[in-house]
Structure 1
Amino acid sequence: MAEVQIQEEEFINPDIEVFISYFENLNIDSEYDIYDEYTSENYGNIDVSLSVEEPISHIQSLTQEETETEPNQQQTLRQQPVGSKRELPVQTRKLIVQQLTTLSKEPDRRLPRGTIKTIALQHNTSRWTIARLWESAKTSMQNGIVIDVNSRKRRRVGRKPRVFDMNLLNAVPIEKRTTIRAMASALGIGHSQVYRMMKSGNIRAHTNSIKPKLSHDHKMRRINFILSQIIPPTIENIPKFGLMYNVVHIDEKWFYMSRATQRYYLFPWEEEEPYRCVQNKNFIGKVMFIAAVARPHINSAGEVLWDGKIGIFPFTETYYAMRRLENRPTGTAQLRAITRVTRDVLRDKLITEVLPAIRSKWPANGVKDIWIQKDNAKPHILINDHAFNEEAKKDGFNIRLVCQPASSPDMNILDLGLFSALQSIQFKSFPKDLNDLIKAVNDAYDTFEPKLLNYTWIQYQLCMIEVLKAKGGNNYKNPHIGKQRLDRLGLLPRQLEIPQELIDAARQFLAHGIINLNDLPQDD
């Protein structure tokens, strides 16, 4: 008689380790072979004699002991779905046949009551699967042939994918391809098939944003502005952008107390959903901030010498309560947001907060000739504002204002990436009042990584190259060069080079004054 050959690495399921000690020392008086075609090996002979009178009671006792000693493991097992559709591994099928053969009784191979159910629970499968496998094994033993435990499934199984002619998609107008159900209705197929086409990569989802409308004059001014940022070529170097270390970008933005809709991830059981309420969702509490940033100073070793953060300042005012409330006496100082930001308010903010912050935070070895770039909003002060220019020349500084091209948010660092990042961080704090909102915005500004700010300045140069390619337009895809990867490799450039052919084409466009017919007014 031979012993049962069981390799330790075959027991890949922790739920069947309980049977290992039971099958180690079995006596053999009859032989059956189990065949696995995946390895083309004969796994030896299987003993069908019993060393105990009721092996099933032994299994049940082990299960009871596990329940007493490992309640957490048994609780996890009960939470798993019994009769799952996963395919049983070949080694697990071989072990199940060994268990059933050992526990069966001669001559008709009858199993003790509850055996199939117990083994199905041990292997986390359906009892019908165990019964079907056992019937196949009994038939093989009665016919005296090798027991085949391999799966009967061959190659690819399941429903075959439906073939769809992708050329039909071109006939569907883009206006009817805004939702999955709308596109499915236009194509005459089910929406589930459209979803599978998305998952397979045959079609892709695209979120489209509205961009500012540009006239021919806007495009010409955008090209002129970009050409002014380029260092002329030399004998050894091709044209490239300046370092921009003496430029400060400023802009304003409203920051809100909360989103109108907020996504949460809750537990599957009945967790209480968050409750949020306002008097009117169209008038959620908000504060306008003005931010100022410059390009960070980072050496070749990646060390941040100066973070480039000038500051972010809220438009608020202090007033004194006129009436007494339960928790507030008359005359208590209160803070409120300035909802109407005029030119005088902006001038006062620049003179009293922005300019002092620039002078106090500017690097000692930095150039004192500084340009403040702003957009063309109507409340902004003029570039020749007398009060501002007098204040800008103090302490040896020569600070001047310059306007970016009109309708060009892609020409400002704050609109290009900083404001969206700050807003995303600020929404995680869930402020309850005005003071909490101001603190959340300031914390988001302080925690913003200087290297990410430097990446935005490089993205600014990439966008200007794309604008030149688009002849001053804004119909271009946001370019990506893998800035973080280049930074890790020490290959991130500080200045991007521009092909001379692109500059010549832009100058030719300006010289000829080519006008797009689509920009001309149409006759009624």
Structure 2
Amino acid sequence: MPGLDVDLNLEPPESGQMNPIDWDDIVEFEGPAHELEYDMVWNDGIEGAFFSLISVSPSLNSFYVLISIILSITDQAGHEDVMQADAVQADGVHVSPDMVSLTFLQGASTFLERASTATVEGSSANKRRFYSDDLKISIYLELLAKTDPPILRRGVSKGVARKFDVPLRVVQSIWKNGQAGGINGVVNKWARNCGRRRIEIDMESIKNVPLRQRTTFKDLADALGVKKSTLHNRFKEGYFRRHTNDLKFSLTDANKKARVKYCLSMLNAQSLSFKPMYNVVYIDEKWFYRTRRNQKYYLANDEERPQRTVKSKNFIEKVMFLAVVTRPRFDENGQCIFDGKLGISPFVKVEPAKRWSPNRDAGVLVTQAMTSVTKEVSRDFLVNKVLPAIKEKWPAEEKGLPIYIQQDNARTHIAVDDPAFVQAAQADGWDIRLTCQPPNSPDLNVLDLGFFAAIQALFEKGTPNNIDGIVAKVNQAYQEYPVQRANRIFLTQQGCMMEIMKHNGGQHYNIPHMKKKTLELQGCLPTTLSCPLQLGGAAASRSRTM
């Protein structure tokens, strides 16, 4: 077929330029609408073939067939006759052969583009949706609530389909399956027998892998002979757990015996419940660093990471503090009448600066941390800071009753019968005594058990820049620590003492959790815990034979 003399790169001319329309010859149609003729007359009686074929079969294959038919008809009529034929008048509109050819090419291009797009979109639109068991059960219960089985009322299916935004056939299928098998007939039957075959792992074989080969997922996966992703999936499913192991002090038989005896001394002989320990004052030291070497933050995706710098990572500014706490007191209404915070003192000294610096002049008083703490320093802090704080803040009605200050067994601590301390502790009618906790037993001191960790977390929310900043932030954290949480630590200590007796003085046990916050909100938090009679008797008999 000869090519058309048409440049497809140019915009098609307006119909009025090629064949002007005489609008005066066009009159309004007067008559019923069904008598209108909508067929287009192209040439030689071929009427509406293009649009009728598209409307019957709107697909790419039918369009290719249409092109073949038109080309064959055009060849039969003769290309020269078509190009030289006069304009054909159809319903008062003049259509030339050139216009028909150009319009046909444009329509073919548009149709091909739309047909290809519809084909791609239709492939994903016909994909079957998955409906969960919860959704199917909800639909079935909704149907049961709106009808009387086994007859489904008219319009109920459509209403439920619109409510849950599902096809009508899904609702009807759920109703049919529910009538046949109830709830079990509604749920999916293939949920456990589809997808990839599950790779099973013998979890008992994990115990046979040495601990050194269980520090990372990759090491454990290599030891078990499975992929790391498979092992991680089993971890998320809860088949095994992650454990962070911390070092503990090694205990001798004498240490274990001392631990059991200490726990037994905190029990009431008559009721076998723990003493409230209102007359025990705990003291201990702790280092507070200006910043951590590694600190975790949560940042936005486009946020720059913080820039923290120090002159030396091995010499970060730090200050040692001596904390003094006892158990808080509450009245019948749960109001705190004594917070138990007797003070926290830094081991620092204030002296004039020896040299000039850009930050201050020579001779200005500066705060410096003590580099070493000796027995003389410990005695000075006990006599001049701890004892005055106890005598000032202790309830007046308990003056004269025994008060025990419990310290650990550090070498820098003074003896329990130190003359200077005893003289100051017994003055003014007070009966304050110094005791030592069992060796290698930080779990028997409430400061090491939980108080210091909480203070550390509050302290790290600030950003101190020097020694004075560290002292200020630690004092602020100490005062802001809630009294109710401090009271819970004493109950945790009593639970730890029961675990110590269960393990014959050992330290490898899990700290018990008793939902103390929930009990406190319910108003039934106990003051002391009760020790089972069998446990107390067995611990007492073992302590005599250890």
Q: Please report the TM-score for the alignment, with normalisation by the length of structure 2.
A: 0.66
| Aligned residue in 1 for 2:493 | 460
| Aligned residue in 2 for 1:176 | 213
Q: Distance in 2 between matches of 1:325 and 1:404?
A: 46
1:298 equivalenced with 2:330 (yes/no): yes
From 292, 298, 307, the equivalent of 1:275 is: 307
From 377, 389, 392, the equivalent of 1:357 is: 389
| Aligned residue in 1 for 2:405 | 372
SS in 2 for 1:241: coil
Superimposed CA distance per residue, residues 34-70 of structure 1 (whole angstroms, 9 cap, x where no aligned partner)? xxxxxxxxxxxxxxxxxxxxxxxxxxxxxxxxxxxxx
Q: Within 5 A, what are the aligned runs for 1:225-374?
A: 225-233=262-270, 238-269=271-302, 271-368=303-400, 369-374=402-407
| Aligned residue in 2 for 1:200 | 237
Conserved 8 A contact 1:116-1:130: no
SS in 1 for 2:396: coil
| Aligned residue in 2 for 1:55 | none
Superimposed CA distance per residue, residues 452-509 of structure 1 (whole angstroms, 9 cap, x where no aligned partner)? 1110000111111111111111121111111111112222111111122222212221
Q: Distance in 2 between matches of 1:475 and 1:461?
A: 16
Alpha-carbon spacing, 1:291–1:135, altered in 2? closer, same or farther (3 Å): closer
Conserved 8 A contact 2:324-2:386: yes
| Aligned residue in 1 for 2:202 | 165
| Structure 1, unpaired ranges of 5+ | 1-104, 120-126, 137-146, 514-524
Aligned-residue CA RMSD in angstroms?
2.7
SS in 2 for 1:261: coil
Alpha-carbon spacing, 1:187–1:388, altered in 2? closer, same or farther (3 Å): same
1:387 equivalenced with 2:424 (yes/no): no
| Aligned residue in 2 for 1:65 | none
SS in 2 for 1:440: helix
Alpha-carbon spacing, 1:118–1:434, altered in 2? closer, same or farther (3 Å): farther
Alpha-carbon spacing, 1:301–1:107, altered in 2? closer, same or farther (3 Å): farther
| Structure 2, unpaired ranges of 5+ | 1-53, 60-109, 129-166, 171-187
Alpha-carbon spacing, 1:202–1:323, altered in 2? closer, same or farther (3 Å): same
Q: Report the residue type matching 2:466 in the other structure.
A: D
1:160 Cα offset (Å): 4.3
Q: Which deviates more from structure 2 when the two are superposed, residues 500-509 or residues 252-261?
A: 500-509
Q: Distance in 1 between matches of 2:424 and 2:354?
A: 36
1:470 equivalenced with 2:503 (yes/no): yes
SS in 1 for 2:299: coil
Conserved 8 A contact 2:399-2:429: no
Q: Report the residue type matching 1:480 in the other structure.
A: H
1:113 Cα offset (Å): 9.5
1:424 equivalenced with 2:457 (yes/no): yes
SS in 2 for 1:487: helix
Conserved 8 A contact 1:462-1:479: yes
SS in 1 for 2:205: helix
1:240 Cα offset (Å): 1.1
> Aligned pair count?
386
Alpha-carbon spacing, 1:134–1:217, altered in 2? closer, same or farther (3 Å): closer
1:504 equivalenced with 2:541 (yes/no): no
Q: Distance in 1 between matches of 2:127 and 2:377?
A: 88
Q: Within 5 A, what are the aligned runs for 1:116-155?
A: 128-129=120-121, 131-133=123-125, 155=190
Larger C-alpha radius of gyration, 1 or 2?
A: 2
1:108 Cα offset (Å): 4.4
| Aligned residue in 2 for 1:185 | 222
Conserved 8 A contact 1:298-1:306: yes
Conserved 8 A contact 2:260-2:504: yes
Q: Larger % of helix: which?
A: 2
Conserved 8 A contact 2:291-2:460: yes
Q: Distance in 2 between matches of 1:217 and 1:297?
A: 35
Q: Report the residue type matching 1:283 in the other structure.
A: F
Alpha-carbon spacing, 1:149–1:108, altered in 2? closer, same or farther (3 Å): farther
Conserved 8 A contact 1:225-1:405: yes
Q: Report the residue type matching 1:220 in the other structure.
A: K
Q: Report the residue type matching 2:355 in the other structure.
A: R
Conserved 8 A contact 1:230-1:242: yes
Conserved 8 A contact 1:246-1:367: no
Q: Distance in 2 between matches of 1:175 and 1:261?
A: 25
Q: Distance in 2 between matches of 1:298 and 1:482?
A: 20
Q: Distance in 1 between matches of 2:314 and 2:298?
A: 25
Superimposed CA distance per residue, residues 234-261 of structure 1 (whole angstroms, 9 cap, x where no aligned partner)? xxxx311111111100000001111110
From 212, 219, 224, the equivalent of 2:261 is: 224
Q: Distance in 2 between matches of 1:441 and 1:454?
A: 20
1:400 Cα offset (Å): 0.8
1:300 Cα offset (Å): 4.0
Q: Distance in 2 between matches of 1:493 and 1:112?
A: 81
1:510 Cα offset (Å): 2.3
Conserved 8 A contact 1:260-1:281: yes
Q: Distance in 2 between matches of 1:480 and 1:329?
A: 55
Q: Distance in 2 between matches of 1:115 and 1:489?
A: 68
Q: Report the residue type matching 1:387 in the other structure.
A: A
1:222 Cα offset (Å): 1.0
Q: Distance in 2 between matches of 1:506 and 1:309?
A: 33
Q: Distance in 2 between matches of 1:244 and 1:113?
A: 89
Conserved 8 A contact 1:376-1:403: yes
Alpha-carbon spacing, 1:118–1:389, altered in 2? closer, same or farther (3 Å): farther
Alpha-carbon spacing, 1:117–1:366, altered in 2? closer, same or farther (3 Å): farther
Q: Distance in 1 between matches of 2:58 and 2:168?
A: 18
SS in 2 for 1:311: strand
Q: Report the residue type matching 1:203 in the other structure.
A: F
Q: Report the residue type matching 1:496 in the other structure.
A: L
Q: Report the residue type matching 1:258 in the other structure.
A: T
Alpha-carbon spacing, 1:418–1:112, altered in 2? closer, same or farther (3 Å): farther
Q: Report the residue type matching 2:207 in the other structure.
A: N
Q: Distance in 1 between matches of 2:501 and 2:531?
A: 10
